[in-house]
Structures are given as C-alpha cells and as structure tokens.
Amino acid sequence: MAKAEKTNKAFEQALKQSGKEKYLLRLYVAGTTPRSVAAVANIKKICEEHLQGRYDLEVIDIYQQPALAKGEQIIAAPTLIKKLPLPLRRFIGDMADRERILVGLDLRPKGLKSLK
C-alpha cells in the first residue's frame, strides 16, 4: 500500500471515529407531488436533527434534469442516494421510516430501537 493511500485511509478512519464525517446526499424527486414534498421535508428534518452542519443535500427534480436521473439510474422517485461517506446507499420512498433511514445512513446501529 502506498504511503499516500495509508495516509488517506488513516484520515478517513479518524474522521469516522470523530463523528464529523461530511455527508453528501442527493434526493431525486418527481416534481412537486405530495410524495416528493414529504420526502424533502422528512430528509431535511432527519439531517437537521442528526447531521447538523455536516451534510450537503441536493434535491434534483427528474423532470427538470432528466440526464442526472439517467446517469444515476433512477427508476423510482423519490430516491435518496447517500454518496458519502461510503458505502453508497439508496432509499426509495417518502423517507417517512426514520429508523430505516438512520440505520442506512449509519447514524444508528442495526437493532437499536428509539427511546421514543
């Protein structure tokens, strides 16, 4: 393993352990349908509660930018893609299942139930 690669891996590991990883999220929606509006509201709420100041959320309307949707192979909307941190993950739906989203974003361990 090259020295630069070791340094990058060490940096990524330290960042992960500090809980300061930057999240890059893309939400693909289909216009302003009720489902799209709900997905935007739900994911923004989750991000503000759990990733405050550590995320970039891009909302992409597949009707306005179909080339982006095609490039990401979007087959349903709304679809959320977690680009960073790796691994890449996809979620389809209105993002109402908070537990599934939190586990998928690695913000809550699998099997841990909310105290609410």
pTM of the model as a whole = 0.77
Q: Where are the beta strands (DSSP E) in 30-114?
A: 55-61, 79-84, 89-92
The domain ranges of the chain are 21-104
Could you confirm whether domain 21-104 is CATH 3.40.470.10?
no
With the C-alpha atoms ordered 91, 92, 95, 98, is the resulting torsion angle positive or negative?
A: negative
Given pLDDT bands bounded at 50, 70 and 90, which one contains residue 58? very high
Phi, psi of 90 (to 5 degrees): -125, 140
Residue 82's Cβ-side half-sphere holds a number of Cα atoms within 13 Å equal to 23
Per residue in 14-57, pLDDT tens?
545 445 789 999 999 999 999 999 999 999 999 999 999 999 99
Percent of the chain with pLDDT over 90: 73
